[in-house]
Chain A
Amino acid sequence: MSDLNNENKNMPEKNNETGKNLSGDSDKNNKPGMSRRTVVKALAGLPVLGLFGHQLLKKRNYDLEKREAIVKELGLDKIELPASNYGSGSNPGDLIRVGIIGYGSRAHSLARSLGFMHPDEVKSRNEQGTLKEWLDQEYLNVALTGICDVFDQHTENGLAVAENYIRPGGQNAPKLPVKSYRHYHEMLDDKDIDAVIIATPDHHHGQMTIDAAKAGKHIYCEKSVANTEDEINQLYSAVKNSGVVYQLGHQITQNVIYQQARELIKRDMLGKVTLVQTTSNRNTSHGAWVRHLNSQGNPKPGNAKSIDWKQWLGNAPYTPFSINRYYNWTLYFDYATGLIGQLYTHEFDAMNQILNLGIPKSVTSSGGIYFWKDGRDMADMLHIVSEYPERDLTLLYSGNLSSSRGRGRIIMGNDGSMEIGNNIMINADRNSSRYRKGIESGLIDPGSPMISYNPGAGQIDAVTSATERYYASRGLTTTTINGRRVDVTHLHLREWINCIRDGSTPSVNIDVAFDEGMACVMAHRAYVEKRVVQWDKVNKKIV
């Protein structure tokens, strides 16, 4: 540079018509100070910046105006959702002592959502840096004081979890002794247990719920409600007569977008809803409930000696000990209703919570075992058509275990359709009369979502990009509340615990569970009996 400066020293100031170097010195003389022309040139970027600012404001105004216009046209400007008090740090209330019946993998997740984690998992999460997120989960003032399982190894696992004091609530959390029970009746007889979580295979749910209600224990029962109509009727009256708080393990609706979806539907954004489509596609052996091998391909532990097989069978038909049936019970109709009890029940609940569907008038099911020919009873291809003639509505479910293509969860009306994944997308129908004006004026593009609701942002976003649509299909394990990611199962358990304390009614209470249980039993019977199954509304009976 110094050479350059020297070369330029004697150059006249205005010799730059023919050429310039880039040191910026060419049009300066050797005197300190800058000529006006040099200063003006130095400020060349400012007009560009000004133009940029102008365009930026224009673009922002355009976006805001468009959003406002759509929001206003749709009457969405007044949507107000109740603010969540989650994480407010308020006093959780009296201690509640919880026992878990059936400590398998689902119970393990439930314990985690309740605020209890196995020391090994604490260690690995600490290494991954994800422990803090869990420790920040709201402390529920719950003690896990009882574990019941028919397999020693599961019981020990549960005890290690319950006795681990690294948990939300920290060292101040009560350190109560944890008992193990070989039979759930012993747990139900124990005065030191206030509430139970039932996470056994499905064939126990009915009887256990009845017994727990009779013993006066509050109940959080994993889906399904029960496998038969009789059991549902019995457990319904047992719970109703006992006054205990019952919550069914359909955590999906704790996602805040469901409140939003309900609001949007109430505002008649979709027009007349006549078709609801829910689907579940999976394409892995684990997803198809082949679960007797561990991740290395070796058989999981357990044998006739370490597992109390008689108790595990319960009221199910006798069969000699089978490690396959023990781990893969969902595949057999002696213990479960297959896809219906595992996935359809969640899908039905999701739609029931938004649309208040209740029990369908009639149900047909079809499908079969087309891919997983391993001796299972469970259909790996299943279609369920539930009719609601009084509502002019059909609920269509389609499940498949040999393709992982996502097909979404869509509510269709004559003015628009709503897709619900981890956020909500509403598209106007191209032939809608309600939106005709908006479509003609270009305000609404039926080809892309007119409205999306993203719980993370807590606001309605009426102008979305194509990529947003893609993310709508993501899973539903967490939701966002007050800017925090929160586990939905944790919220579901929290709601149950809070209802036990203040006597209010949880979202998947016994009445909802009755409807959902019956809808699932109807679907199962339609599949097994290969006929149209009807609901007799007067006599409250499946016919």
Chain B
Amino acid sequence: MRETSFTKVQLSSLLLLRFLVGWHILYEGAAKVINPQWTSLDFLEESQWILSGFSNWIISNPNVLSAVDFLNTWGLVAIGLGIITGLFFKAAALAGALLIFIYYLNSPPLIGMEYALPSDGHNLVVDKNLIEVAALIILALFSTSKIFGLDAFISNFKRKDKLLNE
């Protein structure tokens, strides 16, 4: 990345992607905060493939389930805020990628896996979750937050520190 240098259009596109993904994640979280009825129970009940055992364990423990609900909801909000504002951006983007990858693993559209919950469009192996994961990884690798984000203040502060120490 050292030598990477971007045109304005390229940079704007990266920024646009960042805002779109951040918006989506933030609203996923906010909608859950607003809706007191929301629980991950229904989603986890549908879990198939490699995480189904883990999901069943969560469902069978009411305390674990409510902890998972809490962490998921506020995790999404924190990740969304981090991505949009560009604060702790890399950590937020990677955490988001991991979280959404877990969603993907719970209900991957693989051949032979059928879900009672309606799916979002028609998917085979790849679904929108997986694409969002990839987008987040790219965003983390091509981080724009040190220019267009609160991380700029952090790096500025660090640089100041470094200069003072020199």
What 0/1 pattern do residues 138 to 166 of B give for CB contact below 8 A with A?
A: 00001111111111110110011001100
- The interface size bin for chain B is 35 or more
Kindly list chain A residues whose C-beta atoms are within 8 Å of the C-beta of B84.
45, 48-49, 52
Q: Are A49 and B85 in contact (CB under 8 A)?
A: yes
Q: Which 9 A-B pairs have the closest CB atoms?
A: A24-B146, A42-B152, A19-B5, A44-B148, A45-B85, A457-B37, A32-B160, A45-B84, A24-B147
Q: Are B152 and A41 in contact (CB under 8 A)?
A: yes
Q: Are A52 and B27 in contact (CB under 8 A)?
A: yes
Q: Which residues of B contact A (CB under 8 A)?
A: 1-8, 11, 15, 19, 22-23, 26-27, 30, 34, 36-37, 39, 42, 57, 60-62, 81, 84-86, 116-118, 142-153, 155-156, 159-160, 163-164
Q: Is A43 an interface residue (CB 8 A)?
A: yes
Q: Which residues of A contact B (CB under 8 A)?
A: 3-4, 17-28, 30, 32-34, 38-39, 41-46, 48-49, 52, 56, 60, 128-130, 133, 454, 456-457, 461, 466-467, 470-471, 485
Q: Are B34 and A60 in contact (CB under 8 A)?
A: yes
Residue of A nearest to B146 (CB): A24
Q: Are B116 and A45 in contact (CB under 8 A)?
A: no
Kindly list chain A residues whose C-beta atoms are within 8 Å of the C-beta of B19.
45, 48
A415 vs chain B, min Cβ distance (A):
27
A87 vs chain B, min Cβ distance (A):
14
Contacts A22-B1, A48-B19; is A42 near B117 (CB within 8 Å)? no
Q: State A48–B85 Cα separation when bound (angstroms).
A: 8
Contacts A3-B2, A52-B27, A60-B34; is A42 near B149 (CB within 8 Å)? yes
Interface CB pairs A-B, < 8 A, 12: A17-B8, A22-B147, A23-B146, A24-B151, A28-B156, A32-B163, A33-B160, A43-B150, A48-B84, A456-B37, A470-B116, A470-B117
Kindly list chain A residues whose C-beta atoms are within 8 Å of the C-beta of B30.
56
Q: Are A34 and B85 in contact (CB under 8 A)?
A: no
Q: State A56–B84 Cα separation when bound (angstroms).
A: 15
Q: Please pick, from A42, A454, A467, A470, the residue contacting B150 in the complex, using a CB distance under 8 A.
A: A42
Residue of B nearest to A456 (CB): B37
Q: State A43–B148 Cα separation when bound (angstroms).
A: 6
Q: Please pick, from A42, A49, A471, the residue contacting B147 in the complex, using a CB distance under 8 A.
A: A42
Kindly list chain A residues whose C-beta atoms are within 8 Å of the C-beta of B148.
41-42, 44-45
Q: Are A22 and B142 in contact (CB under 8 A)?
A: yes
Contacts A22-B143, A52-B84; is A45 near B163 (CB within 8 Å)? no
